[in-house]
Amino acid sequence: MGIHLCWDRIGSSSSISKEDKSIRDKLFWSAFCWDKTISLSFGREPAFPPQSGQSPNAIPEFVDDDAIWQPYYAMNVHRPPSLTMYSFEPQSIVVTFRHHALLCLIVHDLITEIYGAGSAIQQAALDSFPKIEKALATWWERLPPAIRFEPVEPTGICPPPYIIAVKCAYLRRKT
């Protein structure tokens, strides 16, 4: 499929529309993220390496992140009465997707440098710990407030589940 290829560096890229490039980028980063989740779940090395020279920050906008997120109900009659005064948050889908992919880049390094073939208890693997810990701390510091879910006190505001999932993925990888 070639979704891992950097289309800007390939001679035949002129025949691919911007929309097709955008779809391929989203598909690659989606597969990349799933690959890291599956790798962690089954204890195997990742199958998708990162795209050379590509960053999830370049994932184009594909929805309006400022639009208000509301839980989906098949029928409004199933909406709990307690949600009539609920303060809904912006959906932040693109920014969440980008930061989840950035976290998966760190996870890729963690898996390949510490647990990958040939890295078993070698000094190079041990030397990777501070670099990966710093990368996780930097990722957390750069996380936009809109998707930094920190439930200290009940506020009555609950972000979309995909934002909570990114926080859980971060916590799971940090511990």
Write out pLDDT tens, residues 129-164.
Answer: 888 889 988 988 898 887 877 766 555 566 777 777
pTM summary value = 0.75
Please give the pLDDT value at position 4.
58
What whole-number percentage of the chain has pLDDT above 70?
71
Please give the pLDDT value at position 35.
94
Angle at the Cα of 124 (from 121 to 128), degrees rounded to 5? 100
In a domain, 34, yes or no: no
Question: CB of 95 within 8 A of CB of 164?
Answer: no
Question: CB of 146 within 8 A of CB of 90?
Answer: yes
Look at the chain and report how many structural domains it folds into: 1
Domain limits at 140? 51-174
From residue 152, give the alpha-carbon distance in Å to each of 4, 15, 99, 155: 40, 51, 22, 9
In a domain, 20, yes or no: no
In a domain, 6, yes or no: no
126 pLDDT tier (thresholds 50, 70, 90): confident
In a domain, 40, yes or no: no
In a domain, 77, yes or no: yes
Q: Is the pLDDT of residue 60 over 70?
A: yes
